[in-house]
Amino acid sequence: MKAVRIIALKHDRKRLLEHLQDSALIHVRHSDDVQDGFARADTSAQLKQFEKNADLTDKALKILSNAAPEKKGLLDSFKGRREIDADEIGDIAVQAAKIIGICGKICRLDEQITDNIAEQARIRTLTAQLEVWKKLDIPLNTGDTNSMAVFIGTLPKQYDEQLLTETLAEKCPELVFELEVIYSSSNVTSIVVFTPKRQKEQAELTLRSIGFSRPLNPTSKIPLDKAKRLAKKSNDLRDKNDDLREQIAGYADYREAIRDTQDYFHLRAEKYRVISELDQTEHVFVLNGYIPEDDCGKLEEICKKVPSAVIEFEEAGDDAPVKLKNNKFAEPAQSIVTMYASPSKEDIDPTPVLAFFFYWFFGMMFSDAGYGLLLVIATAIGLKVLKPDKSMRNNLKLFQYCGISTIIWGLVFGSFFGDAIAVFYNTFTGSNITMKQIMPWMLDTQKDALFIMIMSIAFGLIHVLVGMGCKFYVCFRQKKYAEAFFDTGLWMLLLTGLAILAAGMAFGQTLTYIGTGISIACVVGLILTQGRSKKGIFGKLIGGVASLYDITSYVSDLLSYSRLMALGLTTGVMAQVFNMLSTLFGTSVFGVICMAVVFIVGHAVTIGLNVLGSYVHTMRLQYVEMFSKFYEGGGKPFEAFSAKTKNFKIKNTDE
């Protein structure tokens, strides 16, 4: 990585930034320090406006998706962005104001729908309140006459006319009244009470003593008429909302233009963020950043298009970002590394090592040649037909390589859609052939389970030793020779010695003697060196002896590789079970139809479950078992100043 400084005249700023954004070569350096004699432009107002417009387009697209759902195919999410010429950006810019206006209309229409829905909710509440008054034939706000006081309201418990009459008479014997129960249920009773006006105060006190309360929203209309008016209003609002949704759906043809406009404002916002990082005078500006050393020549060619531009390169400091660069075999696995963490300046790029083991372990766990073949074919079609963007292309390539590994391991374990070849051959011919006869070299995942378990742990040992070897290399490169040889090298030799000792139990005493000798020598070395940071001879000795406890951690790590055998066994057994189930209906026409359905559905379930399990557990083995041995991470990822768009990409842009 190189630090780069570009100096150019201010009137060339727009042109140069457009070239740099299209090329995606530079990571612009953020710094709060401004060089003497320079200043920074305040672009916050422009950024706020661009982001506001981008948010408006995003909101409009979501509203359109609800009003007029877009018809998408199953594979549309894998497709790459649409390619456009650089000149088309100008056309999008010209139409931007119009499109933003349309987005505003869509949002205002949606706000009207929201307001109408809120009004419908209010109407439902009012209608519910009127439900208990529908039999009332006078308005709820009916007032007193010259001689009569009128009380219209509710009581918080159930009454009939006789019980209520007795209750009021008991509460106030001298009260003269007439009443009518309009509605009664377990928790509310609606009533109308008439009393002489001279007894109004007395009547009100008596009614309140049993919980009387007047309606919250008394109306001048008869309740039934009011309920009908509210129902009509609610229906009108519903029809109006349907019309508003149709108006919104009428803008569906602008969906692509809205997406382009959204990308346009993201481009503008990104450019103005960079402008705010430039050191500027009245006539000159300076851009500071980082660039991969291999891309320096490309940058020089680009800057030749701007006559005033001057480039300076220098060594990058410790705060330089990290950009991973690998060959075609390892590049698809870069996403696995960055999901964990970008490497720091002290780390090595683990991608090549991770890629090999990721493909290898995935194939061993998925372990069916038929499934692997489907994976290879599906990813090949996706790469050819869908023309995905770089990130999706790498993901498809990752699974393509995993598919190739799966084919290899499927042939090793003699599995092609389980034992489908033998099962169907026997079903239709009446023979009794086995997969072992078809593939005599195969390992039977059930009969040879112990050998496969030992092989899995052996692969695990190699994996762990490679991780420790990476740690040895990192320490050696940093001139930490004691850590390299004593803290890593001795443990590597000890694990190797124990492996040779274990092999000697099966292959002869010579290996046993060699393994024992190496192990004893390493144990002595660890006891003598692992406590070297302690004070005093006794402390150093105790520290060295205590370090041997770490052997339990390594044993635990190695045992975790048994999942290679376990998941491989699961895939094979599930496939065989569905093959057996598919033949239960015989070879009649009906039986063949059932056979095809069970076979397809069963193997689809097996593929779905086991491809997920293989992916997750393979990542776990990389992150937990290998990365823990040497990888620190914590580096700052390289983020190129580029056209970060979702809908289109500019032709000939270096992704």
Tokens 């990130």 found at: 391
Please write the tens of the pLDDT for every residue from 447-463: 888 888 999 999 999 99
Question: b/e for 344-364, b at 16 or more Cβ within 10 A?
Answer: eeebebbbebbbbbbbbbbbb
Q: How far is CA 311 from CA 288, 304, 609, in A?
A: 10, 10, 54
Per the prediction, the chain carries an average pLDDT of: 89
- Bridge partners (DSSP) of residue 290 are 3, 27
**What backbone torsions phi and psi does residue 2 show, to the nearest 5 degrees?**
-115, 145
Instruction: Say if residue 72's pLDDT is above 80.
Output: no
Q: Is 13 helix (H, G, I), strand (E, B) or coil?
A: helix
Q: Is 48 left (phi over 0), alpha (psi -120 to 50) or beta?
A: alpha
For helices 390-412 and 369-381, angle between their N-to-C axes, nearest 10 degrees: 160
Which residues neighbour 102 within 8 Å (Cβ) at sequence distance 6 or greater?
A: 60, 251, 254, 258
Please write the tens of the pLDDT for every residue from 32-43: 788 888 888 888
Please write the tens of the pLDDT for every residue from 283-339: 898 998 999 888 888 888 888 888 888 898 888 877 888 888 899 999 999 999 988
Instruction: Say if residue 528's pLDDT is above 90.
Output: no
Q: pTM of the predicted model, to two decimals?
A: 0.79
d(CA 130, CA 117): 20
Please write the tens of the pLDDT for every residue from 433-449: 988 888 888 888 778 88
d(CA 109, CA 339): 41
- Bridge partners (DSSP) of residue 313 are 4
pLDDT for residue 653: 45
Pairing of strands 82-84, 648-650: parallel
Run of H or E residues at 240? helix 223-249
Run of H or E residues at 290? strand 284-291
Instruction: Say if residue 542's pLDDT is above 90.
Output: no
Closest CA to 348 of 505, 471, 178, 167: 471
Please write the tens of the pLDDT for every residue from 461-486: 999 999 999 999 999 888 888 888 98
Instruction: Say if residue 226's pLDDT is above 60.
Output: yes
Instruction: Say if residue 58's pLDDT is above 90.
Output: yes
As to burial, measured by CB atoms within 10 angstroms (0-12 exposed, 13-18 middle, 19+ buried), residue 529 is: middle
pLDDT for residue 122: 92
Q: Mean of the pLDDT values across residues 366-390?
A: 91
For helices 551-559 and 490-507, angle between their N-to-C axes, nearest 10 degrees: 60
Position 221 confidence tier, pLDDT thresholds 50, 70, 90: confident
pLDDT for residue 654: 44
- Bridge partners (DSSP) of residue 9 are 284
Run of H or E residues at 27? strand 27-28
Instruction: Say if residue 74's pLDDT is above 80.
Output: no
E-strand stretches of 67-168: 82-84, 148-155
Q: Are residues 345 and 635 in contact, defined by beta-carbon separation less than 8 angstroms?
A: yes
What does the chain come to in residues?
655
Q: How far is CA 31 from CA 20, 21, 288, 479, in A?
A: 19, 20, 9, 32
The CATH number fitting domain 141-214, selected from 3.30.70.2750, 3.40.50.150, 2.120.10.30, 3.40.50.300: 3.30.70.2750
Q: Which stretch of 81-85, 209-213, 638-642 has the lowest confidence by average pLDDT?
A: 81-85
Which residues neighbour 643 within 8 Å (Cβ) at sequence distance 6 or greater?
A: 21, 22, 24, 263, 267, 270, 649, 650, 653
d(CA 572, CA 415): 7
Please write the tens of the pLDDT for every residue from 401-423: 999 999 999 999 999 998 999 99
Instruction: Say if residue 655's pLDDT is above 60.
Output: no
Instruction: Say if residue 75's pLDDT is above 80.
Output: no
Domain positions in the chain are 141-214, 331-479+560-630
Q: Which sign does the torsion angle of CA 585, 587, 592, 598 carry?
A: positive
Q: Are residues 23 and 320 in contact, defined by beta-carbon separation less than 8 angstroms?
A: no
d(CA 629, CA 550): 13
Distance of CA 342 to the CA centre of its chain: 19
pLDDT for residue 73: 66
pLDDT for residue 18: 85
**Percent of all residues in the chain with a pLDDT value above 90, rounded to a whole number:** 43
Q: Are residues 379 and 396 in contact, defined by beta-carbon separation less than 8 angstroms?
A: yes
Q: Mean of the pLDDT values across residues 244-257?
A: 91
Q: Mean of the pLDDT values across residues 229-257?
A: 92
